[in-house]
Structure 1
């Protein structure tokens, strides 16, 4: 059968599976402490249904300690969408006015719709790990071997983004002195290659974060979803490059074996496997724990530990102050912040039930985190009842907004703005999760209840946003919204708004950042702001079950919540011109406010269908297999 809307027409196979996955039986989890596991690598995991292949094929590329900027090893890293993007960049399909896609599409839709569905595509609610590099996009055949040019660079059209669009980071891209930072909020964007330098003012690259400017590093822990270990090691300055690094990951079986293989040249790299006891969950948290001779620091970010995430994408991060060591014999409550950040961070780390993290837990207890002015909002896998329901996910956010904010006249006109890079299944209509359960959390201010008339704006890039981006179509590899999910929730697309950051000069760096906030109708104030790893999905935020007496969370996520009360403010003023960074007290929102609604011609980016009607800024088209 087919469905049609202003966003296109799809041909839907009768064999498509239902959105609701069958879950293994599991009891509810409570706050009762769990004994440490004997090994973080030996716990049993429930098997995934055979129809969804979660694990990557074994790597066939040798991992070298010092990779080049773009190598075939990148094809074995990350989700299927990311590997597709990497393959497309190495072997692009060039745009031709007479190009034929015969044999590439397994299901055809009406001409001009631009949306098609392959029989081999799996339902995708999140960043699903790759099935096989054989599913990556094919290269269009050259008209003739004689016309093939020797260098890819010679095939590139003039870039609309300027001369620096195609080049790697210049020598002065990394800070040689302490950058101008916004120490009030400690919220930073990443540096983006190819932009005017003023738009990187106050922004940070991973090399800046790990540099000696911020401390003499003794040891670090890297929590993440996606790793390129050789590249990660190269980002540490030479004097710290052999210091111990603990990798906290969620890979299992073949994927875990591939990750361990990556680390073979680096004996200082150790591993801790996060327990994923509920099907379809991921370890999506992105955090650095940095232990220095001078103290301790926490960095919570939205970037994976791969080069592509720190190159031409929009990312965000919170960097803590340098936490000093407490005097010996300090009490257990010493070093706590008004936001109870220390308690909540220790609780989050304890949820892993991992012996490998015990030393880090002890280190945190020995440091003074009292300067922290943000609240921790995390997710950990489990089913929770009673008071434990408010420990994780969006119910944790709801509790913080209830306890630490106040309603004010006209607040119902302050829209909820959510911005993310991936979208999960939310049911056949908006009331199933989004506008009931999730919107109730997002509209909470003190004791005020859900206001159904509060606007909700969801920012997600359109096809045109991706096509004209710095990376072109491969940027869509970081936006894994699948056709299988999209065609079952057409109602969602009426909420969509464009990704625009013209005031920051960053519109063409596609977002991998995830932010949620309440903004005033005139876009000059914020009621609160959250930067997090959590995309728009029930797996990340949790979903109520059993007549709202239980909440189920699938994944590990982590973010920080900014509330005005913690900064002695009633609201946050919005910085209207955040670049170059100055002493302005405004909050640096990473996109334009107010958001711009999709036009009738706009379509949300769908990563696993072809786009061949127009070339991207590299002169390529997007043709998934």
Structure 2
């Protein structure tokens, strides 16, 4: 199998780059690890030989010696099959559920061996022409047919130039501008779920292609700031949108060899890894700045990484700003500010990188009008901060100034990962964290007891019933050894349930925070959508000596306050209410039962 870098980032084919073979799995034919990352790091000769002989007859031809653990091996084979990557010269045909055509053009050779079983992405084939241009005639691709191998197979990179053969859900083109306008005043969207057909037609569901839809404007260039980037998938998205020739700048956190020196292979793509001073900190922000030919721009604040799995069967959230038009030529850089000071906050965040590659985007932000933006940017950047502009102190300051008093309404903190908090909750979780997230204006100086904290995080049982079974927990990295040191956390845990948005089986990579007044159909005094999980690295720790906030990670989110969005004190949640706010999970949250345990990533190892 072809070499693969960390996480889910696939190699870019390069004829001049030697093909580095993977190490053979040390467990040999007794491998039991149902972990996609493990299969990308190690080769499994016994499984690959079985996969090669598979003809799509409905089951895998396992030797009798594997019968004792047959289901485990079938699960591993399906996982390997699901992660197959298209390569030029091989005829990978999608199943009938994802393709309407069996013709696969044969692009130019990538110089890869035909014997490789999991080849690398060839970005040359995803950027050779506009999707509207006719494909060159070619002979059928060589290699054994993979037709109907498995109903779960979906190609990672397009085997044809038809977007329908690459993406499971394809929204009609040219409709996003109207859809976006209808999302006012919140402009909140949740990712479309591949295996939940109800979400395919929801007005608040969105695909990545819709973000690039031409009805929103003709793209000039774009900035993608993220943690994990699968460059083949991302460039394919731009290709199908017709923007292969547009400048793309990427800031990323997770190590990925494909992005190093990417400009040599793709001159219009520039990528910069943001290194961290501590292993506990992450470049975790998910942000886009889309610049258009008319001088305007849009900002997207998201919870999704830029790779295949995060946009398929996982619940993600994003705020997609209205267009910010270009200011008059004689305007000053501080003109076009919003009542929420969004422009100032965004510029301060971007300038913190001290990167020359961001100079153009900083200038575009300065030259655009943000006066209609109705949300607050809430961000974190590494360092010790004496001011109140970052992390949880930023949240507490804004709530203290603008949030309506909600008495003892519980804080609902929903995340995809949980941090390490210490031997008892008051050391951080029900101390500084809860205190800042439950501030409000007109709040009494002293409360008899702090508000209740309810943490929505999937249990093992929640993950088992997901669209992807245990693999649905791949976006939930909480570790068993961390939980063993804070089993008291069980008292705060609530299940992932999202039936009203048809996302009950789509495990949450979204992170959100709010307080619930009343039960089902109640109201909330604020809503915070962010990349930040419930951790000290993301929200910070207060130095008791000087009051400075120590942060370790980059994060970004948007805070919705009713005063600025709908000129009220609370957001209504009930169906049919005017200006209803849609939160993806069910309220009130349901507590873990006694037999439930939180999902831990060790279940995949």
| Short-chain TM bin | 0.7 to 0.9
Contact 1:225 1:283 in 2 (8 A): yes
Aligned-pair distance for 1:173? 3.9
Aligned to 1:270: 270
Q: Tell me the residue number matched to 1:540.
A: 538
Residues 323 and 511 of structure 1: CA distance in aligned 2, closer, same or farther (over 3 Å): same
How much has 1:234 moved relative to structure 2?
A: 0.9
Residue 466 in structure 1 maps to residue 460 in structure 2: no
Of 249, 252, 261, which residue of structure 1 is paired with 2:252? 249
DSSP 3-state at the match of 1:437? helix
Other-structure match for 2:93: none
TM-score norm. by structure 1 comes to: 0.70
- Provide the aligned length of Structure 1 versus Structure 2: 474
Give how far 1:155 is off: 10
Change over 3 Å in CA distance of 1:256–1:464 after alignment to 2? closer
- CA spacing shift, 1:82–1:558, aligned 2, 3 Å: farther
| C-alpha RMSD over aligned residues | 3.4
- Is the contact between residue 282 and residue 553 of structure 2 (CA under 8 Å) also seen in structure 1? yes
Deviations 1:230-259 (A, max 9, x none): 1101112453112011001235xxx35443
Q: Secondary structure at the match of 2:260?
A: helix
- Asked whether the equivalents of residues 10 and 230 of structure 2 are also in contact (C-alpha less than 8 Å), the reply is no
More moved, 590-599 vs 170-179: 170-179
Describe the shift of the 1:59–1:314 C-alpha distance in structure 2 as closer, same or farther (beyond 3 A).
closer
Task: Give 1:325-404 correspondences, 5 Å limit.
Answer: 325-385=326-386, 388=387, 390-404=388-402
Q: How far off its partner does 1:169 sit?
A: 4.3
From 582, 589, 597, the counterpart of 1:595: 589
> Aligned residue for 1:454?
451
1:444 and 2:439 correspond: yes
Q: 1:555 aligns with which of 553, 572, 578?
A: 553
- C-alpha distance in 2 between matches for 1:182 and 1:485: 40
Alpha-carbon deviations, 1:277-302, whole Å to 9, x = none?
34421100000000001311100100
**CA separation in 2, counterparts of 1:305 and 1:225?**
8
User: Who is 1:282 aligned against?
Assistant: 282
2-structure distance, mates of 1:197, 1:175: 19
Superposed displacement of residue 81, structure 1: 7.3
Contact 1:297 / 1:323 at 8 angstroms: preserved in 2? yes
| Aligned residues of 2:498 and 2:504 also touching (Cα < 8 A) | yes
Shift of 1:370: 0.6
**Aligned residue number for residue 194 of structure 2:** 193
2:562 counterpart residue number: 564
What whole-Å deviation, never above 9, does each CA across 1:325-371 have from its counterpart, x for those lacking one? 00011123310001000011001111111121122111110000111
Contact 1:64 1:230 in 2 (8 A): no
Choose which of 429, 432, 442 in structure 1 pairs with 2:427: 432
Unpaired segments of 5 or more residues in structure 1?
1-54, 66-71, 74-79, 103-148, 157-166, 578-582, 610-621
Deviations, residues 549-579 of structure 1 (Å, cap 9, x unaligned): 22210000000000011021111001437xx
- Alignment partners' CA distance in 1, 2:572 and 2:10: 50
Matches within 5 A, 1:133-148: none
- C-alpha distance after superposition, 1:468-500 (max 9, x if no partner): 111111111100000111111111121110100
**Is the alpha carbon distance of 1:587 and 1:258 closer, same or farther for their aligned partners in structure 2, counting shifts above 3 Å?**
same
Seen in structure 2, the aligned counterparts of structure 1 residues 85 and 500 have a Cα distance that, compared at 3 Å, is farther
Contact preservation (8 Å) 2:562, 2:569: yes
Q: How far apart are the structure 2 equivalents of 1:454 and 1:60?
A: 42
User: Is it true that 1:586 corresponds to 2:580 in the alignment?
Assistant: yes
Q: Compared with structure 1, are the counterparts of its residues 363 and 353 closer, same or farther at alpha carbon in structure 2 (3 Å cutoff)?
A: same
TM-fit CA distance, 1:415: 1.0
Aligned CA distance change for structure 1 residues 174 and 555 (closer, same or farther; 3 Å): farther
Measure the CA separation in 2 of the matches of 1:320 and 1:155: 35
Cα gap change, 1:86 to 1:316, in 2 (>3 Å): farther
Structure 2 residue matching 1:235: 3-state secondary structure: helix
For residues 2-46 of structure 1, the C-alpha deviation after alignment (integer angstroms, 9 at most, x for no partner) is: xxxxxxxxxxxxxxxxxxxxxxxxxxxxxxxxxxxxxxxxxxxxx
How many angstroms does 1:86 deviate by?
A: 7.3
Q: For residues 415-445 of structure 1, what are the alpha-carbon distances to aligned partners after superposition, in whole Å with 9 as ceiling and x for unaligned?
A: 1001010111111110110001100011101
Shift of 1:404: 1.3
1:544 is displaced (CA, Å) by 1.4
Correspondence for 2:12 = 63
Contact 1:169 1:193 in 2 (8 A): no
Give the aligned partner of residue 507 of structure 1.
504
1:224 maps to 226
Aligned to 1:405: 403
Give yes or no for contact 2:198–2:502 (8 Å, CA) kept in 1.
Answer: no
Quote the Cα distance in structure 2 between the aligned partners of 1:230 and 1:554. Answer: 29
Q: Does 1:239 find its partner at 2:234? A: no
Alignment of 1:119-134 (within 5 A): none
Does structure 2 conserve the Cα–Cα contact (< 8 Å) formed by 1:278 and 1:381? no
- Could you list the runs of 5+ residues in structure 2 that have no partner in the other structure? 15-20, 23-33, 52-58, 73-145, 154-164
Q: Deviation of residue 194 (structure 1)?
A: 2.0
C-alpha distance in structure 2 between counterparts of 1:154 and 1:563, whole Å? 45
Larger CA deviation: 238-247 vs 418-427 = 238-247
Mapped partners of 2:590, 2:510: distance in 1:
18
The CA deviation string for residues 66-104 of structure 1, in whole angstroms up to 9 with x for no partner, is xxxxxx99xxxxxx977259789x9799999954999xx
CA distance in 2, matches of 1:514, 1:58: 21
Which stretch of the first structure deviates more once superposed, 194-203 or 294-303?
194-203
| Aligned 8 A contact 2:526 2:570 in 1 | yes
**Who is 1:488 aligned against?**
485
1:510-539 deviations in Å (ceiling 9; x for gaps): 110000001112241011000000011101
Q: TM-score, normalised by structure 2?
A: 0.72
Distance in 1, Cα, partners of 2:151 & 2:487: 41
